[in-house]
Amino acid sequence: MTNPLSFDDLQGLMHRHIEPWPDHRKKGPNTQYRIQDAALGAFGIFFTQAPSFLHYQRTLQQAKGQNNVHTLLGVEQIPCDNQIRTLLDPIAPSGLDPVFLDVFECLEQHHMLAHFRDLDNQLLVALDGTNYFSSQTIHCRTCLTRHLSNGHTLYYHAAITPVVVCPGQSQVIALPPEYIMPQDGHAKQDCERAAGKRWLAKHAARVAPHGVTFLGDDLYSNQPFCALVLHNGCNFILTCKPDSHPKFYERVAFWQATGGMAEREGRRWNGRFTEVTLVRYINDVLLRGGDDALAVNWFDITVVNATTGEQLYHNSCISNHRLTSDNVIHVAQASRGRWKIENENNNVLKTKGYHLEHNFGHGQQYLAAVMLSLNLLAFLFHTVLEWSDDKYALLRQVLARRQTFFNDIQALMRYMVFASWDHL
Q: Residue 270 above 60 pLDDT?
A: yes
Identify the DSSP state of 149. T
Look up residue 58 and give its amino acid.
R
Confidence at residue 189, expressed as pLDDT on a 0 to 100 scale: 86
Q: Give Cα 292 to chain centroid, integer Å.
A: 33
Distance set, CA 74 to CA 78, 236, 416 (Å): 10, 41, 17
Q: What is the mean pLDDT of the chain?
A: 92
Q: Residue 29 above 90 pLDDT?
A: no
* Residue 331: its H or E element: helix 328-335
Confidence at residue 125, expressed as pLDDT on a 0 to 100 scale: 96
327-339: average pLDDT: 91
**Angle (CA) 119 217 325, round 5°:** 35
- pLDDT tens for residues 105-149? 999 999 999 999 999 899 999 999 999 999 999 998 889 999 999
CA pair distance 352, 262, nearest whole angstrom? 43
The percentage of residues in the chain with a pLDDT greater than 70, rounded to a whole number, is 98
For the question of whether the overall pTM of this predicted structure is more than 0.85, the answer is yes
In a 10 Å sphere around its CB, with 0-12 CB exposed, 13-18 middle and 19+ buried, how is residue 147 labelled?
exposed
Sequence ranges of the domains in the chain: 1-112+362-424, 239-338
What are the DSSP calls for 342-399, one per residue? IIIIIHHHHHSS--TTS-S---SSSHHHHHHHHHHHHHHHHHHHHHH-HHHHHHHHHS
342-357: average pLDDT: 82
CA pair distance 276, 269, nearest whole angstrom? 9
Cβ 110 vs Cβ 179: under 8 Å = no
Nearest to 208 by CA among 194, 225, 229: 229
CA pair distance 171, 173, nearest whole angstrom? 7
> What is the chain's length?
424
Residues linked to residue 302 through DSSP beta bridges, in sequence order: 278, 314
Q: What are phi and psi of 93, to 5 degrees?
A: -65, -20
Q: Give Cα 77 to chain centroid, integer Å.
A: 31
Is pLDDT larger for residue 181 or for residue 27? 181
Confidence at residue 1, expressed as pLDDT on a 0 to 100 scale: 44
Is pLDDT larger for residue 347 or for residue 193? 193
- pLDDT tens for residues 255-269? 999 988 999 999 989
Nearest to 104 by CA among 31, 26, 204: 204
Cβ 211 vs Cβ 383: under 8 Å = no
CA pair distance 208, 350, nearest whole angstrom? 30
Q: In the structure, what pLDDT confidence band is assigned to residue 28 with cuts at 50, 70 and 90? A: low
Helix spans in 130-222 (H): 192-199, 205-207
- pLDDT tens for residues 392-407? 999 999 998 888 999 9
- pLDDT tens for residues 172-229? 999 999 999 988 766 678 899 999 999 999 999 999 999 999 999 999 999 999 999 9
